[in-house]
Structure 1
Amino acid sequence: MAVVWALPAVAFAVWLAVTGWWRLSDDEVGIVVKRFGRRRRDDDPKVSLYGAKGVQAAVLAPNSFEFLPKFLYDVHRVPVTHVPSGTIGVVVAKVGRPRPPGRAIAKHVECDHFQDAAAFLRAGGEQGRQQEVLVSGSYRINTRAFTVITVDRPEEMARERLTEADLTDVDVEVGEAGVVITRLGGKPDPSEVGPVVEGHEGFQLPWVFQERGGRLGVQRETLDGGGRYPLNPWFAHVVKVPTRVLILEWNREPKPGDNLDVSLEQIVLDVQGYTVRLDMKQTVQIPPEVAPELVLRFGTRGPDAQTPVQQFVQKELAPIVKSYFRRKAATYRIQEFITKYSEVSNDLADAVRQAMKPIGVRAIRTTLEEFECDQQDINDLRRDIANQEKRAELESAELAALTKREAARDQIELQRMKVREAEAELALVEIRALVKLLGPAQVATERIVRELAKAPVPQVIGGSGDMAQQLLGVMPIAQARDMLMTLLDQNPPRPRAVEE
């Protein structure tokens, strides 16, 4: 009789020995389901901490060989959770305590990157969206306890209203500052950026940011260029602001819509009734510490999806520069634009730099191109002077080169003569331009002769020949220029109607 009972017992033992072992591959996690057990005690309804019937919180690890009797347990094999390189995984807990009202995201608990569901439950983990993200890699996740949303799961992304960009590491390039806008934290001050908070590792630890007094909204601390940051999209959003040197152009050329200077047009000034147009290039740099202020004032995106920098250029920089130019232009005479445009350009460039100081943007270099007037004769006069100025500069540069060579003394003296000739020719061209601005030859002569009658100089000015040469024959260039400027102030030149 004993033998009869022994045979089934041996068979059962053999069956247990054969079927009770569970082997998992490197890419599998085993979710354990207990077929029998005691009543749940302080367990989550979906998983068990203490060995009650149903899904267990603990899992079988990949590449493991475990003995669990089949009549007591079942094991469901699920793939290891993979987060692709350069991306993140965000986690939604299916188990845990309900979140308190008003809390948009669950409190953080340590649970080995959600690989220990038992620790999550014991620490009071809450259901719903979690603060910690999973960076690139593989994780042994109990999928009955947690859902991990990655770029490989478009349906789950859509359900949580996430995009592929949301689940990609934030890449801040060299020459950029990443301005962070947080969605969690204390009540913000609408007029200020959030204070710097220590210890959150570039906003990668949202719970530390909140525990140490971080506030909602735009943050003063920025993400450095050249780094990649795995940020939780439920916690923070990043706006990239260029901090490299930028060239903004005021001209009438069409520009692509994504250009920072797309709203800038050619500068148009009124100088004593003459319409003067000029192009300008402005090299600027936005310091990283100024970037958060721009985002705070202009937001992340404006009308027509404009970036904060585009809005800054259009709404603040362009009007300030335009206003400064108009005020400065009102202090100039047309003859100064013709004869002293280099000085005028330097003065206007300094005005641009002064305009940007209060904003905090660095004005590095301002370049004004040659102006263009609606009156062609003004353009002709300016072109003649500009050409002569270039010739004088070239001769001066040649002289400077020769002076470096001691053996070239004769050439140096010859070059000095050329420089003096070029400067004298420039003076003659300037005086001719000023005389021409006085009006027809007879009128100009009469005005000059009347003015000379007041000055202690020889009265040898005649009504024929080159008036400019005659004038320079009786007085120095500076005195002649001042006299003509005074005459032009008394008798300002008037623009003629432009033919259609």
Structure 2
Amino acid sequence: MVDFVGSGPAIALGAAFALLAVLAFVLKGLYLIRSGEVGVLVKRLGGRKMPPGQVIARHGEIGMQAATLMPGLYWRMPVVWSMRRSKVIQVAENEIASVEAIDGRPLPKGRLLGDEVECNQFQDGEAFLANGGFKGPQVAIIRPGTYRINPFLFNVAKRAATEVASGKVGVVTAQDGQPLPPKFIVAPQPEISPSAAHASSRPHNFFQDGQAFLDSGGFRGPQLDTLQPGRYYINPILFQV
């Protein structure tokens, strides 16, 4: 004869343990991203392996993901996913931040920096990779503000903005661009309006728009244009002042 009365506590205890196990499983998959943080998911299982040489996962691959999570509460299957958190990037009014991409297409031969691509100021890592972003130092910089950037895809280095003191001028030397023409000591000025040779030509705003400088046929070497006293948000890898 089965003792149902005696087995009652054992059943209740087993149910309690099962409930605790389920609760622990659910809690392990919960992730809270606070207002000053950015979250990056890591996929452990359930996807393809990344090709050799690739650092950041995309299209469901296993590994560190390009996308980031905004502040909020999230749940992901604990066995499949883990989470990394980092602080948001804050750039002060007297600073700029230069960016180096850890993944992306190889830089073209002869180029020092990767051309700018649409990626919401490096806050959309998936767009950066999908739009053909280049691995290595970037032409684009980050201006003053707060940014949610994937630190596993981008190395961000804050630097002082360029300040030209009163009574002085800033002499600029470009580190990237077209080779200086023969017999030229100072580079010719880039074009400022579209032409047959450079359809995307536009003003570079006192060297603050590095991509405009390059798209307009800017040359490497000392520049004819100088900087008057003031503050400038210039990429120090692209231009020496």
* TM, length-normalised to structure 1: 0.40
Equivalent in the alignment of 1:187: 179
1:94-493 aligned within 5 A:
94-150=102-158, 167-189=159-181, 190-198=184-192, 199-225=203-229, 227-238=230-241
Q: Which moved more, 1:39-48 or 1:126-135?
A: 39-48
Report if aligned partners of 1:86, 1:168 keep a CA contact under 8 Å in 2: yes
- Corresponding residue SS for 1:56: strand
Residue 39, structure 1, aligned to residue 48, structure 2: yes
| Cα distance in 2, alignment partners of residues 32 and 193 from structure 1 | 46
- Corresponding residue SS for 1:133: strand
Superposed displacement of residue 196, structure 1: 4.7
Superposed displacement of residue 18, structure 1: 3.0
Q: Match for 1:76: what amino acid?
A: R
Change (3 A) 1:196 1:72: closer
Residue 82, structure 1, aligned to residue 90, structure 2: yes
| Cα distance in 2, alignment partners of residues 46 and 196 from structure 1 | 36
Change (3 A) 1:83 1:192: closer
Equivalent in the alignment of 1:409: none
Superposed displacement of residue 87, structure 1: 1.7
Change (3 A) 1:85 1:191: closer
- Corresponding residue SS for 1:231: coil
Q: Match for 1:223: what amino acid?
A: L
Superposed displacement of residue 10, structure 1: 5.9
| Cα distance in 2, alignment partners of residues 78 and 201 from structure 1 | 33
Q: Match for 1:18: what amino acid?
A: L
Change (3 A) 1:43 1:83: farther
Report if aligned partners of 2:96, 2:144 keep a CA contact under 8 Å in 1: yes
| Cα distance in 1, alignment partners of residues 74 and 240 from structure 2 | 44
- Corresponding residue SS for 1:97: coil
Superposed displacement of residue 55, structure 1: 1.0
Higher relative contact order (CA 8 A, sep 6+): 2
Change (3 A) 1:192 1:54: closer
- Corresponding residue SS for 1:120: helix
| Cα distance in 1, alignment partners of residues 94 and 141 from structure 2 | 13
Deviations 1:79-137 (A, max 9, x none): 22233441221111111122233222222212112111111111111111111112233
- Corresponding residue SS for 2:128: helix
Report if aligned partners of 2:96, 2:141 keep a CA contact under 8 Å in 1: yes
Superposed displacement of residue 32, structure 1: 0.7
| Cα distance in 2, alignment partners of residues 169 and 41 from structure 1 | 38
Report if aligned partners of 1:169, 1:228 keep a CA contact under 8 Å in 2: yes
Report if aligned partners of 2:186, 2:221 keep a CA contact under 8 Å in 1: no
Q: Percent identity?
A: 33
| Cα distance in 2, alignment partners of residues 116 and 233 from structure 1 | 23
Superposed displacement of residue 16, structure 1: 4.4
Report if aligned partners of 1:32, 1:55 keep a CA contact under 8 Å in 2: yes
| Cα distance in 2, alignment partners of residues 118 and 79 from structure 1 | 19
Unaligned runs of 5+ in 1: 151-166, 239-500
- Corresponding residue SS for 1:176: coil
| Cα distance in 1, alignment partners of residues 20 and 213 from structure 2 | 61
Equivalent in the alignment of 2:61: 52
* TM, length-normalised to structure 2: 0.78
- Tell me the number of residue pairs that the alignment of Structure 1 and Structure 2 aligns: 217
Superposed displacement of residue 230, structure 1: 1.4
| Cα distance in 1, alignment partners of residues 61 and 187 from structure 2 | 51
Decide which of 65, 70, 87 is 2:78's aligned counterpart: 70
Structure richer in strand, relative to its length: 2
Superposed displacement of residue 9, structure 1: 7.6
Q: Match for 1:80: what amino acid?
A: V
| Cα distance in 1, alignment partners of residues 187 and 57 from structure 2 | 46
Report if aligned partners of 2:112, 2:175 keep a CA contact under 8 Å in 1: no
Report if aligned partners of 1:182, 1:235 keep a CA contact under 8 Å in 2: yes
| Cα distance in 1, alignment partners of residues 99 and 80 from structure 2 | 31
| Cα distance in 2, alignment partners of residues 96 and 70 from structure 1 | 29
- Corresponding residue SS for 2:160: coil
Decide which of 20, 39, 47 is 2:29's aligned counterpart: 20
- Corresponding residue SS for 2:100: strand
Structure richer in helix, relative to its length: 1
Superposed displacement of residue 56, structure 1: 0.9
